[in-house]
Structure 1
């Protein structure tokens, strides 16, 4: 045997080690139980891989992103084996890792029942305890087809070998390289227990799966296409420890309590009636108040910042989107055209920017007008597939708080800096305070304009983002076709990340629309265009805030800021006078004059998450006072009426949570 020299990378440290020929990665990291794979020249390898001379090796910890993906993909294989042991007729689809978990698709005669998932989970525990080994082997296309002749979906995937990647998750099975099958082998005898077409890598053994749980099942079209057969998908989650699994399940339980669809119904805020259609919401009076207050405050802040309000129609001739390029790039996300005016195609608008360009171009513009900031609450329509529509966060009809800023090249950096600062400050006013920024750069397959223009735009955005002192994350290839963008990512009260505002720098649409202004020297110049959606959409931002606050909005946003609760009928008139005085101060105060007992009234309004309850009995009425009951259940008695009103006013004006 000869010596093999390898270099081990751990963060910024390098260690040179000499081993014998045939040494595996598992032997190289013997005793380090948290290492589940290695990365060599950017490629992940199983621990069974025999290291070669001169290779630089990076160990992959199970708790890293790659390590979690390997754990979860391996658990998906165990689940698929368990399904086929229990239901031998089941045909295999694909089983990739996803955020916080995994899934596997199966073709079975009837949908899985919750009791089936319990049986599958039990069988998985048995497989894990057997300590089966994951063993990789390279096969030819012909051999794979012969071995998997009874798996029609795997045969289809073999035909995809050579494609670079697949959005449907098929790249966990096949890819551009060699074709591989993973065998699950009995730990004692080496006997084959199960096999699957897969690129890998996998854990060395099923015993390294410490904690998992099956979550739910659903229907899913094969490879995400509605033209294909509908399969049964089982979702699960897996974690490096039982404590982490427990924490994740507790997080999911809290997220479920905060689900905006559930709260929207419980608090009577909005609904999505079947008679109207999926992804098309109606706001009820209470939800309408919250939305109006959100919009009114935003309008006020925009006016202070020098924006001018514009309004545009909901539909337009298709030629407008041909001019902008949207029909070339986004036709699949638009509703089908309507044939009007002797065969002229009209479209429901999916975005507002082309119409704002027409407003800019409606008359001559001077450099003295720039920067020119147009703002609109513009309702748009996008044809989202039914499988991705989700309450208010992924809708088919929604209202964007959309702005387009036209400025000179010299004003560009300052205007971007001012815009990003304005965006962050306004989001903080609504109660979101934990941010990071994402810089989306050019997709080399989907862009217009020159490389030089894109480079200038990208570097300008990068410098603007860095000035905020926030974490900046790269999003390679994530830009729209016309320019790079900064996305503001906000973490909510339970740590989830939501994409909020986007700021896009665009040199291309002004070119396509031939927009010009007269410069100081009399020449005609092209403006720079900045696209900016602060909330993203009103509906989605409403949903994010609803979940962030778990329905307990701060008093300035709450549909009812205070409710008067009389101990008896004799106290109703006193509270009605209090409510009338509060309304004159601009407060939203109601009196519960129903026949319910006082304790039931309190419970009812606690469920509705009203910030303040004003309780009055004989003693308060005679003394000219009220009793304050706060949302957390605490109470303050004998508060003079004028001080009670002022406390509510102060809390509302300061936009703080109580």
Structure 2
């Protein structure tokens, strides 16, 4: 009998040779209906996999990332099978078809230009294949068998992939009905598991991503277990289109992007209001949490970047220049400059923890095809901080940092999920250093009682990290905050502090950001609020709308009174109907539209209409000002 260790540590017995599918049925029939794949000793496998030794098994459902990928990978094969069926006379040659985040795609070389109109026919055929509930059968073959099979079918791209595999590499093929594909898997047990699918778009894609190769046709789609989940996802996409920060950035006159500087955003006056309010809030929070602000140069010499490790580990993302014949680099990160500030004087254990914050402008080279509004740019301001601590202060300092994160994210109405990212392949440092650092972060999360996900191999090259993925108002997640544990840079820069024993010791450094980058965070907030910023952040907090020219002087008197109190007020004195002025004020997402006519002028009042509402409320001017000031002072999330 085999001993199978479950995810919760429980051990079950099973006969050798049992499939995972039969094993999960022994555990629970209801669970068996949900399980899509399984991890066996950490490796994701099909449910048809046979268990022949003691092992650890974790069942994967659609709630698990690897479970979703297995289902969506199968959906890509269903797509390829449908295209093969529909366009027999178009010489369809298959390239690759992986699962991706939120969906899947397949690349085709086909003697026919596919259009959006074809997607409906292909999707219809895919649904037929789902109804056929075809079993996916895995077969391990020799290189010769695989080459013979795909050469006979004229699948030149598959032949190329096989020829590029290393000698001795295991080669597998999956068959469903009449369709067979070269694939490493894993997949769900049958096409019938893909109960809800949708084709999204067609695009061009170079074979293997190389512009020198042939342009193929790529079909994107998504798949879910339940139609309700697919419908919710499609609704979220529609909402996301309405909230696109690039579109709203132009509509609200916040920022622009120009071909004279691809990836280098230009902030307009309205955008600078939002940006400066975020910075003012950042400074207030950090002062209260015991931080000191520093500023370091944008350009520093090659020797510094060699010492930090960026020259070897990050060079392809950096920009360079020469000064007096020497190599210099524009900083992609603030950390090395922070090391020089720390080292500018000798520190005592009494100085620690030392919290140095910096709003540092950094530049990183991103490929032109990956640039995206404020989300993917080439220069941005990181709200960085470097915390220098003794070993016994590490956990308390991490808890202190998460307290700060909680306050900031709650201010914007954002919740988060924590993710622990572990050692990458190109890391610096010893196994012992990495184990100590990773365990330090893990213990801090566990002692706080935070649920977290482990993201293997996604740490920084100098240390593991905790990432904070924020959830916005329509359910999307964004990676923003991070806490990184670093024992490498203090070593490389020979950082020390004098301990209670009078001897020099090496501090541990924690890197952390809250916003991540101010530019990206602004983009996230634009989409989270759909452009309707809370009052304290809004570029224009109230817009005064005189009904006729007779009230214009009164409107400007009100504006001056409020402006002198530090409020951001504008007057719309155009000779337009008041209904049009109100509509346009709403289009500009103004928190409060203040209508003033003869009656309001006589009574010293304003008719207040909140953004998104149809009814107005008459208020004394002094009462409205007090209300607006309270909204700003408390950073109210709603109008």
TM-score, normalising length: structure 1: 0.87
1:155 aligns with 2:139: no
Q: What is the aligned counterpart of 2:253 among 247, 268, 273?
A: 268
Gaps of 5+ in 2: none
SS of equivalent residue, structure 2 residue 203? strand
Structure 1 equivalent of residue 376 of structure 2: 394
What SS class does the counterpart of residue 406 from structure 2 fall into? helix
| RMSD, aligned CA | 3.0
- Picking from 294, 309, 315, the partner of 1:310 is 294
CA shift for structure 1 position 237: 0.8
Assess if the C-alpha contact under 8 Å between 1:627 and 1:635 holds in 2.
no
Distance of aligned partners of 1:322 and 1:642 in 2 relative to their CA distance in 1, 3 Å threshold: same
Q: Could you say which residue in structure 2 is the equivalent of 1:84?
A: 84
Q: What is the match of residue 568 of structure 1?
A: 548
- Aligned pairs (5 A) from 1:516-555: 516-555=496-535
Q: CA, structure 1 residues 449+624, in 2 after alignment: closer, same or farther (shift >3 Å)? A: same
- Please tell me whether residue 442 in structure 1 is matched to residue 418 in structure 2: no
Deviation at 1:367, TM superposition (A): 3.9
Which residue number corresponds to residue 324 of structure 2? 341
Shift, 1:509, TM fit: 0.7
Name the residue aligned to 1:293. 277
Aligned to 1:608: 588
Q: Give the secondary-structure state (helix, strand or coil) at the position aligned to 1:536.
A: coil
- Distance between the aligned counterparts of 1:596 and 1:587, measured in 2? 25
Distance between the aligned counterparts of 1:38 and 1:441, measured in 2?
22
For 1:161 and 1:198, locate their aligned partners in 2 and report how far apart those are by CA, in whole Å: 12
CA distance in 2, matches of 1:409, 1:105: 52
- Contact 1:6–1:52 (8 Å) recurs in 2: no
Q: 1:424 aligns with which of 402, 406, 409?
A: 406
1:48–1:524 distance in 2 versus 1, CA, 3 Å: closer
State whether structure 2 residue 70 is matched by structure 1 residue 70.
yes
CA distance in structure 2 between the aligned counterparts of 1:594 and 1:394, rounded to whole angstroms:
39
CA apart distance, 1:512: 0.8
TM superposition shift of 1:347: 1.6
For residue 220 of structure 1, report the CA deviation from its aligned partner.
3.1
Residue 123 of structure 1: aligned partner: 125
Match of 1:515 among 458, 473, 495: 495
CA contact (8 A) 1:25 1:38 kept: no
For 1:316 and 1:517, the matched residues in 2 are separated by 25
CA distance in 1, matches of 2:81, 2:421: 40
> Equivalences for 1:88-487 in 2 at 5 Å?
88-108=90-110, 112-149=114-151, 150-162=154-166, 178-185=170-177, 193-225=178-210, 228-277=213-262, 279-335=263-319, 337-342=320-325, 344-432=326-414, 434-443=415-424, 445-487=425-467
Judge conservation of contact 2:384–2:512 (CA < 8 Å) in 1.
Answer: yes
Q: Give yes or no for contact 1:63–1:240 (8 Å, CA) kept in 2.
A: no
Q: Output aligned runs, 1:28-39, within 5 Å.
A: 29=25, 34-36=34-36
Q: Which shifted more, 290-299 or 413-422?
A: 413-422
Whether the 8 Å CA contact 1:212–1:245 is kept in 2: the answer is yes
Change (3 A) 1:140 1:525: same
The alpha-carbon distance between structure 1 residues 12 and 494, as it changes in their structure 2 partners (threshold 3 A), is farther
CA-CA distance at 1:610 after TM superposition: 0.7
SS, match of residue 442 in structure 2: helix
* Distance apart, 1:505 and its partner CA: 2.0
Shift of 1:99: 2.4
Structure 2 counterpart SS, 1:387: helix
Distance in 2, matches of 1:315 and 1:604, equals: 45
* C-alpha separation in 1, matches of 2:635 and 2:576: 32
**Structure 1, residues 507-527: CA drift from partner, whole Å, max 9, x if none?**
211111122334455433323
Please give the secondary structure, in 1, of the residue aligned with 2:117. helix
Task: Identify the range of structure 1 (296-305 vs 5-14) with the bigger mean alpha-carbon deviation.
Answer: 5-14
Are 1:60 and 1:67, in contact at CA under 8 Å, matched by a contact in 2? yes
Question: Residues 412 and 231 from structure 1, CA distance in 2 versus in 1: closer, same or farther, beyond 3 angstroms?
Answer: same
For residue 208 of structure 1, report the CA deviation from its aligned partner: 3.7
**CA-CA distance at 1:131 after TM superposition:** 4.6
For each residue in 1:176-234, what CA deviation from the matched residue of structure 2 results, as whole angstroms up to 9, or x when unmatched? 8631222232xxxxxxx322101234344434432211011223343345565443321
SS in 2 for 1:594: coil
Whichever structure has more helix as a proportion of its residues is 2
Kept in 2: contact 1:407–1:527 (CA 8 A): yes
TM-score, normalised by the number of residues in structure 2: 0.90
- Of 482-491 and 289-298, deviating more is 482-491
Does 2:456 align with 1:505? no
Secondary structure at 2:347 match in 1: coil
